[in-house]
Amino acid sequence: MSRISVKTLHPCALESMFIIEQAAHRNPWSLSLIKDCFSPEHLILGIFREQQLMGYLIAHIILDEVSLLNLCVDPAYQRQGCGRILLQHFVSAMHDQGIRQCFLEVRASNCRAQSLYTQLGFEKVGVRKNYYTQPHKKSREDAVLMVASLNT
């Protein structure tokens, strides 16, 4: 990918993030939830081709641990390595900051994401039963819990 960069996002990116969120997820975050993540304890990174936001991630840092809350790539840029580049940058930055572990939850049905996380050193450590709501269904979906050690 040419002219790709990863940068910290600021509130001026909120509208673009929300548009990507709506397009990429079947149960998207609300605008207010994304907005609330622009706080000192959160890290929000975006991946860009020139000035075009292609995706973002939101993480919550607590002391020497971080939770990856949302990794979202615009459907127009999926399967092009954007998620991998963004996640690699994030993991490297957290390692450099002395973060010990990174936690995440992912839908049990999201095999592509689980594969990416596994390739980048995350291990499955558990399941949260009936964690995610499923639009237009009365049932709920399990969350797979994963963790990566960043400073070993």
Catalytic positions: 105, 117
Q: Using alpha carbons only, give the angle 38, 43, 47 rounded to the nearest 5 degrees.
A: 100
Strand ranges of the sheet holding 4-8, from the earlier edge strand across to the other edge: 4-8, 42-49, 52-62, 65-73, 101-107, 140-149, 123-133
**CA distances in angstroms from 96 to 6, 42, 82, 93, listed in the order given:** 16, 16, 21, 5
Sign of the four-CA dihedral 147, 145, 40, 48: positive
Closest among 38, 72, 69, 77 to 56, alpha carbons compared:
72
Backbone angles phi, psi at 96, to 5 degrees: -65, -25
